[in-house]
Amino acid sequence: MTEVAWIGPALAAARPQAVAALLRYFRDLDVAEEAFQEASLRALKSWPVNGPPRDPAAWLIFVGRNSALDELRRRNKHDSLPDDDVIPDAENNEAALVERLDSSAYQDDVLRLLFVCCQPDLPATQQIAVALRIVSGLSVQEIARAFLVSEAAMAQRITRAKRAMQESAVAFETPGPVERAERLNTVAAMIYLLFNEGYSASGGEAHVRVPLCEEAIRLARLLLRLFPSESEIMGLAALMLLQHARAAARLDATGNIVLLDDQDRHLWNHALIAEGLVLVEKAQRVGIPGTYQLQAAIAAVHARAARPQDTDWGQIDQIYAVLEVLQPSPVVTLNRAVAVSKVRGPAAALQLLEPLARPLAGYFHYFGVKGALLKELGRADEARVAFNQAIALARTAAEAAHIRMNLDRLDK
């Protein structure tokens, strides 16, 4: 470890808040990012000599803002006079700035920064990529690697996404309660997409991409520290913690998928599970169940079972029933069918699957579940058809291999 190894995490930790505050000052993402970059360079020179500042984020905001103002003044000497709209709060000193950071204003700054990444016209993967670049500060190379595309392609994607973001008008006033709730919703969905991208890769060789899951959890914790009473953010964080806790057990040594029932539960991360269970309990106090909370509650039932046969499938079925009302979706029903098969048998579950045939005609897991239920009922020929359809829809090698294993077992 080098002498200044602590600076990396310190900069990474301060980044969301610092870039968010700089975005509010300059109302321009590029200027904000450049300002943070410049402040980081100065930190690398100053911090090893002077030690870490008491409040790294405040230091970076102050230094970044001043350097960007200098830069703007330099440019404006050649162009035109400085525009007061572009340089608000120019007279603020550091003390006033720090005071402001203590207030609740920066909650909305960070939320806004996350929110501008969630442009509805951008494809989900681009929203995630741009959030990883701007909010988390991952390098283009790291993001490209995570998404298994070339660095040049990812750079182009991010540039395009940023242009779309610059063109959209985002309100810089402090949001009202309704708008804040909407923003939180949108941002939560983006964070969950990021997690899912890591949890179940949408393509390529790697089936699980741990860094993406960890980054999603980091963002959820960040959001929850800013909005500690938001039960759905608690639910989101709990859901991801409980699912990610199983990461080490989800693939075997050769990279094959290990289903929940067959996982070695000693490999589960029990610290993450404990944290997830606490958050589920905390969220339930609020008494307004949301979709993340319900999904987390289901994950909690699994996490509490020491052995697969201890799983309270009846409770899982009940929670899915509530989820079906709150968020009707064929995928939710498909998942409920798995619980139903455990409580009332495969025939009842298969019945639940019938209306899903059309909406889930292109869904890998639909055919995987259908095949497994048919197999259980001893209808091997129909099971084979379903498994073959699943293989055709598999997105990763691990998914395909898992179904092939099921097919092999059918033949025996």
Partner 1 sequence: MFYCILCYNLESEIDAWTREKEAAIMAKCDAVAHELAAQGRLGPVGRLMPTTTAMTVRASREPLVLDGPFAETKEQLLGFYLVDCKSLVDALQVARNLVGDTGALEVRPLATFYPGIGLQ
Q: Which residues bind partner 1 (CB under 8 A)?
A: 1, 5-6, 8-10, 12-14, 16, 52, 54-56, 102, 218, 221-222, 224-225, 228-229, 234, 237, 274-275, 278-279, 282, 285
Q: How far apart are CA 411 and CA 14, in angstroms?
A: 57
Q: How far apart are CA 220 and CA 117, in angstroms?
A: 15
Largest Cα–Cα distance in the chain?
82
Shortest spacing between CB 274 and partner 1, in angstroms: 7
HSE-up of residue 194 (Cα within 13 Å, Cβ side): 32
By beta-carbon proximity to partner 1, the closer residue of 219 and 372 is: 219
By beta-carbon proximity to partner 1, the closer residue of 17 and 311 is: 17
Shortest spacing between CB 109 and partner 1, in angstroms: 14
Shortest spacing between CB 55 and partner 1, in angstroms: 6
- b/e per residue 121-156 (b: at least 16 CB within 10 A): ebeebbbbbbbbbbbbbbebebbbbbbebeeeebee
3-state class of 167 per DSSP? helix
Q: How far apart are CA 135 and CA 260, in angstroms?
A: 33
Shortest spacing between CB 48 and partner 1, in angstroms: 10
By beta-carbon proximity to partner 1, the closer residue of 212 and 374 is: 212
By beta-carbon proximity to partner 1, the closer residue of 272 and 373 is: 272
Shortest spacing between CB 257 and partner 1, in angstroms: 24
Question: Which tokens hold the place of 112?
Answer: 């806004």
Shortest spacing between CB 299 and partner 1, in angstroms: 16
By beta-carbon proximity to partner 1, the closer residue of 51 and 328 is: 51
Write out the H or E segment, with its range, that includes residue 172: none
Question: What are the CB-based long-range contacts (under 8 Å, 24+) for 197-200?
Answer: 197/125, 197/128, 197/146, 197/147, 198/146, 199/243, 199/244
By beta-carbon proximity to partner 1, the closer residue of 102 and 252 is: 102
